Amino acid sequence: MDKPEADQSQADFIDQKSGREEAFWRLKRASDKRRHKRVQSIVGQQSEGWKVTLGRPFFLCLCIIFDGLILTEIPIRLGKSMFSWIIFGIILGYTIMIQKQYYDEWFDVDLTDLDVN
């Protein structure tokens, strides 16, 4: 009578072990892809000009200054009410989306000459 229960627990153990191994290999493949993309982007940056290399942190600094100093005037000028903070949040969200679009457009790393695997 204990034989079917023992076989079932052994089968459950094997299923759990194979499931863990499959999950491990899925995670490994995903991390390998991310690492390969990071390495490619670093190698791609080596062929960039100095304007792009220096423009990247300069653009980010300007974005931070604009978002932190200029846009925070909205709640200050409107009396720090809940409405002014909501307006600030909406405008800040759209501003960050626009800044990200420009960043991606201007400072995208060219990976066309690299090996794409």
Q: Are residues 53 and 101 in the same domain?
A: yes
Look up the domain containing 9 and give its range: 1-47
Q: Are residues 55 and 102 in the same domain?
A: yes
* Distance, CA of 49 to chain centre: 25
Determine the pLDDT at residue 93: 95
Q: Are residues 53 and 104 in the same domain?
A: yes
Q: Are residues 5 and 54 in the same domain?
A: no
Mean pLDDT of the chain: 80
Each residue's pLDDT tens digit, 48-91: 777 877 888 899 999 999 999 999 999 999 888 899 999 999 99
Domain-embedded: residue 22: yes
Q: Are residues 22 and 60 in the same domain?
A: no
Q: Are residues 61 and 22 in the same domain?
A: no
Structural domain count, the chain: 2
Long-range (24+ apart) CB contacts under 8 A made by 108-111 are 109/41, 109/44, 109/45, 109/48, 110/44, 110/47, 111/40, 111/41, 111/44
Domain-embedded: residue 114: no
Long-range (24+ apart) CB contacts under 8 A made by 53-56 are 55/106, 55/107, 56/107
Greater pLDDT, 81 or 39:
81
The predicted model scores a pTM of 0.58
Percent of the chain whose pLDDT exceeds 90: 33
Q: Are residues 82 and 31 in the same domain?
A: no
Q: Are residues 43 and 73 in the same domain?
A: no
Q: Are residues 56 and 93 in the same domain?
A: yes
Q: Are residues 102 and 55 in the same domain?
A: yes
Place of tokens 């809940």: 82
Count other Cβ atoms within 10 Å, centred on residue 66.
Answer: 12
Q: Are residues 54 and 33 in the same domain?
A: no
